[in-house]
Structure 1
């Protein structure tokens, strides 16, 4: 910890042991700026940027470059600013579960991004129609995301997580379902076939498989961190 950070006066541990950067004037600005950059590299917002660029330009290359470059820059900036904000607080006193209202706001912004993506997708298709198979696969993927959110909501309730975390999951479920229904109703209309239903299931299964692999990966990582290192 550098001299500047050592000069920060922290609350007495007996009064408040765990701290979050939003509770320190010196760290709050860094954290908030990092948080906003973090929103720009959130997957729903990155996808929304790509959808808007595609709607405006119709250029697939620009629709990929714009969100990917935004993601890369925002990721680096958010990580750096976030790390600097946490530097003000000793590791043993850090409260990573703090700033619950910010987590809830993040869910609201992600939910809005999903709805914007769905609307942009439907509007763009009026000029640049996509094959029905691509559309129904995307709808199925949206359904898969909704199932993932429902599972995570159930786990959050079972583990007695705080209301902000539970609320964030509920917001995302509503947004994902609304987005998927919007695309299904406006982009597909009455063109549903038995093959379409199979493709929807495939889209959902793809998301569930990817998420399951991610859950396994994170579980292994957590177990690895908790395993004590034996020095011979």
Structure 2
């Protein structure tokens, strides 16, 4: 009977893409739901309990509706993830294009993207589900910022991907470190260093790692994650700027 119910539900599902369906005029709802309410509730679950806790049944419980109610808007968890991803990308305030050059705009976008990913660490597991309107709005803004540099389409996209890959890598490293501290029961980076000191001292005394020993001895910003992120971001943008200037010089030669 359960197999037949699933088959019947599958046959009833609308195969039209999610975002096209949501553009249709809304019918009078039988339940007090909307795509926004569904996304907000699912994001709250993912933020507090993790992405694996997000199920259609758990969502219905959080919304106080029947388990099948959300299927009026999404065909299942894959489309629910699309709604969630679009919702959190909608938190990004896209910078105005006026009176700003590509570097300023790209830097602001990168900083805001990092902040959003840190607020919602589950996004790194979910935002490859497919392009959503707010994801494309971010991409459009970034590509428009580069448009005055007369780049071909492939190069523009590659430069955008380079910046976002840096952001994602830095966020993954930061969230991984936080997870390690929680798992070990350490409250701070300083406590972690104290706990690891005997092992680290032995390794350093082997004399095999003089550059890292210098870092441990001289570095003043070991725990300044924001500074570390921004200096890395500025280095990425400087590399892109050098490439753009070289291309400009070649065109004018």
Q: Normalising TM by the smaller chain, what interval?
A: under 0.3
Greater relative CO, 1 or 2 (CA 8 Å, sep 6+) = 1
Q: Return the TM-score normalized by structure 2.
A: 0.25
Q: Return the TM-score normalized by structure 1.
A: 0.27
